[in-house]
Amino acid sequence: MESKEKYLLRMEHVSKDFYGTKVLKNINISVKSGEIIGLVGENGAGKSTLMNILFGNPIIHETGGFEGKIIFDGKEVNFASPFDAINAGIGMVHQEFIFIPGFTAIENILLNKEPTRYSFFSEIFGDKLNVLNREEMKKRAIEAIKILGIELNPEIIVKEMPVGHKQFIEIAREIDRKLLKLLVLDEPTAVLTESEADIAMKAIKKLAAKGVSVIFISHRLQEILDSCDRIIVLKDGSVQKELIPSDTNPREVAEYMIGHELTKSIWKSKEIRKISETILEVNNLWVDMPGEQVNGASFKVNKGEIFGIGGLTGQGKLGIANGIMGLHPAEGEVKFKGKPIFLNNSKYVLEQGIAFVSEDRRGLGLILDQPIFKNITFTAMQIKDMFLKSLLGGLIKWSDDKAMFKITREYIDALQIKCESEKQLVRELSGGNQQKLCMAKVFVLQPELIFVSEPTRGIDVGAKSLVLDTLCEYNRKYGITIIMASSELVELRAICERIAIVDEGRISGILPPTAELVEFGLLMLGIKSKKRETIGK
Amino acid sequence: MKKKIQNIIENFGLPRIIIFLFLVLLFILTPFVGIRFDTSINDIIVRFGMNGILVLSLIPMVKTGCGLNFGLQLGIIAGILGAVISIEMEMIGFTGFFTAIGIAIFFAVIFGFLYGLLLNKVKGDEMVVATYVGFSSVSFMSIMWLMLPFKSPNMIWAYGGSGLRTTINTKGYWFHVLTDFLKIKIGNYIFFPSGTILFFAFLTFLVWAFFKTKIGTAMIVVGSNTDYANSCGINVDKMRSISVILSTVIAAIGIIVYQESFGFIQLYTAPLFMAFPAVAALLLGGATVGKASIKNVIIGVFLFQSILTMTPSVVSNIIKSDMSETIRIILSNGMIVYALTRITRVRT
Amino acid sequence: MRKKSLTKTMNPSVLFLINYAVPIIFIILIAFAIPLSGLSGLYFIRELMIRLSRNSFLILALLIPVMAGMGMNFSIVLGAMAGEIGLIFITDWQIVGISGMLLAILISTPIAVLLGYFAGIVLNRAKGREMVTGFMLAFFMNGIYQLFVLFGMGNIIPISNSSILLPRGYGIRNTINLLGIRQVLDKLIPLKIGDILIPVATFLVIATLCVFITWFRKTKLGQDMRTVGQDNEVARVSGINVENTRVLSIVISTVLACYGQILFLQNIGTMNTYQSHEQVGVFAIAALLVGGASVAKANIPNVFIGVILFHTMFVVAPRAGKALMGQAQLGEYFRVFVSYGVIAFSLALYAWRKRVEKENERKKIMNYRKSILAK
């Protein structure tokens, strides 16, 4: 019993399900005062759900709360909102910046917790009419910055600061809280240079030395190994393993994170086809897609193959297709069939015979309030002048509804799209059928190469295999080259001939589907092993 | 059952139901206050023909997501230019009417093009910018009406001063050329302005047909989902520009039909607030900031004009004072405020 | 996505010209118009003095919503209506002098608070299009005001003084004489320099409001409004009640506008029952923008520079029009055009810059990433 008293935070038997799907199973985690815990896990392993529970995020309560209990600072807690968690002494630094760009560093560090001076009017109208105490604000900001150990002028407007410094503002804001006992950092170093990341890690250690516990979420395994006291590996909603950095190595962590395999391979095909002709060559591609930036990716895709792109969420695997398709600003050199293609021009790229099944089905893949037949034919009409009748000697291009219906019926049959009629609104279809529709829309264009992003996200198991089978079928039957980006390693390894892993916006390696699972994990965690064999460079 | 009613209210919108009930009440009251039912109906039909095209002109811009065209006055100015130039040229009858329309279209295309350029630069704030572009262009033209060298004695001030009159009579030029075309008389009190209604029907057909073409389809895509349009390789800005030009051109034609039926060309500050009743009528017909159809136009103009026709006669007879202006202000502006506060996004 | 060369060529002086295009154009216009008008210096100063005392308060009422990110508050018209209702009542009860004015303020304050609260709630439901909504709301409430004053007063609301009622027995007349309070504040502390009357007390009131606004910016509530104004979402996650803060800013603005309108009408001395408030919003906003403010940024100097420039133009334009074209009407139209044109131009410029800046910000971050990652 006594030993438990040392722990600042204990999460006991925590479980959580969303609409019947168990996302957390009997989690037990304890954090000592002044301890730095590294939290590692694949996407969907349950990291963010766990943190949402800790913070009392409303989404947890709206979906029926959680099982188990949380004991923080000796008391059982169940925070109703993040503000309660903050008041209890838990702070969080998010991956995306949360601050006011037009304010000074001081104002941002003390956002909505500004010290005030008494003013007469507050007697009548309440505390809100007390005057800010600017000197006190400055003093406290400087103190917080000092703990961080960086050179930063607190009077400067955050907008004008070097980007790397902006992350520190948020950390400083948490440090400033006098009762801060536990700090959660979610990928805090993602936007920092190496030297800045070093400073940040040093600051975190300093904080821990003062007795503040830290939960550190990062995919940079080396950072975790270097600075954490303990590593907790989450997998599929349970704690897979607790490790001590000095007793382990990257390979072991990656193995726990990504799991062992029972069978050697799930590769569906019998042999790897020998294809040598290059169809797409990408050199030093930069894409400015929010949350999925690509930072100089280079790779080649062979004609007629299914090429996979994997990696953790936010590392840029989705940015590649979106960039080449002209949906987000891109720079770099892309050659299609040996010919350089212009970037940032969707129409041009589509005309070359490249098409895209977007991950954002409901957003830019479909028009939900339009019927099925229009969704399937819109793009082809605009790009290839299909489904149009010429009237008055070509002066008027009139939409040919009959031809639209015909082709729509063909695809409804071919892809087994479940719907009442071709005139049904897309909004009313299930996720799986919407996905098939997105594919039909692309097949109508008769492309030579298609990008497919997250084709099975959010659809049921039956539809999943049908979608993947359809992709394979069109690849084999019509020789369409497919570049598929997915968070699911299983499906990548099931149908792709080569799989590139993206880490921090670059290709960290390309592996055959038969490669050991842990190899993929190491690439995702940014560990470059010399022994690793990569193919097709 | 209760849920069903709630659903209907939700879909139809509370203000629309209130207005509809109000209108029914007005119709029920007509015989009791001694107003002829048939003349009221006739008024409504005539006003429908007068205003229908102006409301129709809003459709293209809503369809491409440019919002309600509070800058309708630009089209009206183009129309007025066409009208006064045709009179200056002493064009009479149908020739005059179509000359006016031809010249108006010429100006409307130019204005619409520039207006479209501007609206593409201020995406997301189209409506407030459009409102003031409309206002300032009307006041700018007020200066122009004073200064432009028009000569026709029917248009300039009789007592010497330079500049055009505030109202110009279309009698003797192309007054009622459409209204009287194929006019059907029913009894002593009712006539059906076939020409005006046919012309409205023709333009409505053109608008409908336009949205069946490749460009029209592309415009619908832009308005439904800009991201999807981008991913289809559609040039979003170009489609928006075309819709703005189209709206401006139709508005220009609309005001000429209005003048033809009304009998007067109103200059200076008269067009200042003309956008609001048109927008209100469209919203009353069931449109929202992001979605409008031809059905909305027809229902909206009918409801709106019915109320404008019926309230003065019925209400004045009951309370012995004219409340119609006040009711018009509350009704049309209230409808617009209501629509603006109902944030309907196309994407979910 | 397409190359925006515009943003690259923006050096500081070009930026300055773009930011202050409106005041610069105005200064040039006035520089031409003043000699044309042939007005004497003394006349000019007297007019400006009157207009400064008359209009500044109303324009100052616009500042707080700008701070809270709600743009130009077109719904200050609601405050003006509240003030007018107060004035109608004191005229009815024939309470004169400073006490009459204070009573008018007392009566209209709760009305203004209520209207402001209503406007705030409506504007909260139209986030991102506050300005056009506020503008339409003002039109809508004008109808309600008419219903109340033209049909309700003397009918449901007792009005004893038949001289302000329409001949039919109910409804207020089109113009009301405010003889009882005419310039009572302006002349409260008499001071004359030469021929020119200086409305010392009015200026003192305006100065007090300036001090209040400056002080208000430094309060916690002021800071909350600035935060909300910059980013709703960040404000929300840091625990600020965004909706409340926005409503408060509109309430304060509406109440101030109500006082501003009373101040304005005590100077004029007569009230157009149904028109006095109609253009309050447009003229105040145009003046503020002429003073160099934008939709997102407005301060006290903008107010005074704006009043001086805008009203100089108002005084000068009809005369200049007459001298130039032989028609005073031309100048009238011209100043209406300028009022609307200034607003249209400023709003368009702001909307355009907002987009360009967003793109630049992303570009900056992208370049930063390139610089640290491309080895």
For residue C363, CA distances in Å to A6, A442, C4, C359, C370 come to 48, 31, 11, 6, 10
User: What residues contact A190, with CB distance under 8 A and at least 6 apart?
Assistant: A95, A314, A504
Domains of chain A: residue spans and CATH = 1-89+181-189+216-260 (3.40.50.300), 94-178 (no CATH), 278-524 (3.40.50.300)
Token pair recorded at residue A520: 């993929």
Report the range of poorest mean pLDDT among A233-242, B25-34, B124-133.
B25-34
Token pair recorded at residue A339: 């010919």
Closest Cβ–Cβ partner in C150, C336, C344 for B132: C344
Predicted local confidence at residue A530, as pLDDT: 46
**Edge-to-edge strand ranges of the sheet holding A278-287:** A294-302, A278-287, A330-336, A339-340
Establish if B121 belongs to a structural domain: yes
The mean pLDDT of A242-259, rounded to a whole number, is 85
Q: Is A99 in Cβ contact with C219 (below 8 Å)?
A: no
Predicted local confidence at residue B106, as pLDDT: 96
Q: Is B230 in Cβ contact with A364 (below 8 Å)?
A: yes
Cα–Cα distance between C274 and C270 in angstroms, integer?
12
- In angstroms, the first-to-last Cα distance of chain A is 57
Cα–Cα distance between C2 and A347 in angstroms, integer?
13
For residue A123, CA distances in Å to A132, C211, C219 come to 16, 19, 14
Q: Three-class SS of residue A510? A: strand
Token pair recorded at residue A60: 């947890």
Question: In the predicted model, is pLDDT for residue B77 greater than 80?
Answer: yes
Q: Are A233 and A243 in contact (CB under 8 A)?
A: yes
Q: Are B130 and B278 in contact (CB under 8 A)?
A: no
For residue C45, CA distances in Å to A318, C286, C310, C332 come to 66, 21, 14, 21
Predicted local confidence at residue A270, as pLDDT: 57
Question: In the predicted model, is pLDDT for residue C156 greater than 80?
Answer: yes
Q: Is C347 in Cβ contact with B147 (below 8 Å)?
A: no
Angle at C105 between CA C102 and CA C108, to 5 degrees: 150
The mean pLDDT of C174-182, rounded to a whole number, is 88
Establish if B1 belongs to a structural domain: no
Q: Regarding predicted confidence, which is higher, C194 or C51?
A: C51
Question: Which domain range does residue C113 map to?
Answer: 5-368
Question: In the predicted model, is pLDDT for residue A256 greater than 50?
Answer: yes
Question: In the predicted model, is pLDDT for residue A371 greater than 70?
Answer: yes
Q: Is C352 in Cβ contact with B326 (below 8 Å)?
A: no
Q: What percent of chain C has pLDDT over 90?
A: 45
Please determine, for the modelled complex, whether the ipTM score is greater than 0.85: yes
Q: Three-class SS of residue C292? A: coil
Q: What percent of chain B has pLDDT over 90?
A: 39
Predicted local confidence at residue A5, as pLDDT: 53
* CB hemisphere CA count around B128 (13 angstroms): 30
pLDDT interval class at B64 (50, 70, 90): very high
Q: Is C333 in Cβ contact with B139 (below 8 Å)?
A: yes
Q: Does C42 touch chain B (CB under 8 A)?
A: no
Q: Is B232 in Cβ contact with A385 (below 8 Å)?
A: no
CB atoms within 10 A of CB A476: 13
Cα–Cα distance between A359 and B225 in angstroms, integer?
16
Q: Is A397 in Cβ contact with B213 (below 8 Å)?
A: yes
Predicted local confidence at residue B150, as pLDDT: 83
Q: Regarding predicted confidence, which is higher, B78 or A364?
A: B78
Closest Cβ–Cβ partner in A326, A363, A370 for B224: A370
Query: What does C332-369 look like in DSSP terms, one character per residue?
Result: HHHHHHHHHHHHHHHHHHHHHHHHHHHHHHHHHHHHHH
What subunits touch chain A, counting only 3 or more CB pairs under 8 A? Answer: B, C
Q: What is the pLDDT of residues A372-411, one digit of tens each?
A: 999 999 899 988 888 888 887 777 888 888 889 999 999 9
Handedness of CA C147, C152, C157, C158 (dihedral sign): positive
Question: In the predicted model, is pLDDT for residue B347 greater than 70?
Answer: no
Predicted local confidence at residue B174, as pLDDT: 82
Closest Cβ–Cβ partner in B224, B233, B348 for A382: B233
Predicted local confidence at residue C5, as pLDDT: 37
CB atoms within 10 A of CB A469: 12
Contacts of C325 in chain B (CB under 8 A): 146-147
Predicted local confidence at residue C334, as pLDDT: 84
Distance of CA C166 to the CA centre of its chain: 31
User: What residues contact B157, with CB distance under 8 A and at least 6 apart?
Assistant: B163, B164, B165
Question: Which domain range does residue B101 map to?
Answer: 15-338
Cα–Cα distance between B53 and A98 in angstroms, integer?
49
The mean pLDDT of A468-491, rounded to a whole number, is 90
Q: What is the pLDDT of residues B20-57, one digit of tens each?
A: 888 888 888 877 777 777 788 888 888 999 999 999 99
Q: Is C234 in Cβ contact with A128 (below 8 Å)?
A: no
* CB hemisphere CA count around C287 (13 angstroms): 32
pLDDT interval class at A485 (50, 70, 90): very high
For residue A472, CA distances in Å to A237, A269, A457, A466, A491 come to 31, 10, 18, 10, 12
Cα–Cα distance between A87 and B12 in angstroms, integer?
46
The mean pLDDT of A417-441, rounded to a whole number, is 89
Q: Does A398 touch chain B (CB under 8 A)?
A: yes
Predicted local confidence at residue B52, as pLDDT: 93
Please report, for the domain that includes residue C330, its CATH number: 1.10.3470
Question: Total structural domains in chain C?
Answer: 1
Establish if B25 belongs to a structural domain: yes
Cα–Cα distance between B90 and B86 in angstroms, integer?
6
The mean pLDDT of B161-180, rounded to a whole number, is 81
Question: In the predicted model, is pLDDT for residue B18 greater than 60?
Answer: yes
Token pair recorded at residue C308: 């001086």
The mean pLDDT of B285-304, rounded to a whole number, is 89
Q: Is A367 in Cβ contact with B224 (below 8 Å)?
A: yes
Establish if C375 belongs to a structural domain: no
Predicted local confidence at residue B315, as pLDDT: 76
Q: Regarding predicted confidence, which is higher, A71 or A150?
A: A71
Establish if B4 belongs to a structural domain: no
Q: DSSP code of C180?
A: G
Q: Are A296 and A285 in contact (CB under 8 A)?
A: yes
Q: DSSP code of A12?
A: E
Q: Is A381 in Cβ contact with B346 (below 8 Å)?
A: no
Cα–Cα distance between A159 and A491 in angstroms, integer?
42
Question: In the predicted model, is pLDDT for residue C311 greater than 50?
Answer: yes
- In the stretch 90-129 of chain C, residues with CB closer than 8 A to chain B read 122, 125-129
Question: In the predicted model, is pLDDT for residue C10 greater than 80?
Answer: no
pLDDT interval class at C216 (50, 70, 90): very high
Token pair recorded at residue C54: 């008359």
Contacts of B269 in chain C (CB under 8 A): 336
Q: Is C239 in Cβ contact with A83 (below 8 Å)?
A: yes
The mean pLDDT of A10-25, rounded to a whole number, is 86
Predicted local confidence at residue C250, as pLDDT: 96
Question: Total structural domains in chain B?
Answer: 1
Distance of CA A63 to the CA centre of its chain: 22
Q: Does A204 touch chain B (CB under 8 A)?
A: no
Please report, for the domain that includes residue B179, its CATH number: 1.10.3470
Q: What is the pLDDT of residues A26-41, one digit of tens each?
A: 889 999 988 999 998 8
Predicted local confidence at residue B345, as pLDDT: 43
Q: Are A366 and B231 in contact (CB under 8 A)?
A: no
Q: Does B333 touch chain C (CB under 8 A)?
A: yes
Question: In the predicted model, is pLDDT for residue C274 greater than 60?
Answer: yes
Closest Cβ–Cβ partner in C1, C215, C230 for A100: C230
For residue A193, CA distances in Å to A168, A188, A296, C374 come to 13, 11, 16, 11
Closest Cβ–Cβ partner in B133, B323, B340 for C344: B133
Token pair recorded at residue B157: 């001030």
Cα–Cα distance between B192 and A200 in angstroms, integer?
81
- In the stretch 210-229 of chain B, residues with CB closer than 8 A to chain A read 212-215, 217-218, 220-221, 224-225, 227-228
The mean pLDDT of C156-185, rounded to a whole number, is 87
Cα–Cα distance between B303 and B306 in angstroms, integer?
5
Give the type of residue at B113. Answer: F
pLDDT interval class at B117 (50, 70, 90): very high
Q: Is A385 in Cβ contact with B233 (below 8 Å)?
A: no
Q: Tell me the nearest-neighbour CA distance from B124 into chain C, angstroms.
A: 8
* Cα Rg of chain C, angstroms: 23
Establish if C165 belongs to a structural domain: yes
Predicted local confidence at residue C3, as pLDDT: 40
Residues in chain A, overall count: 537
Predicted local confidence at residue A268, as pLDDT: 63
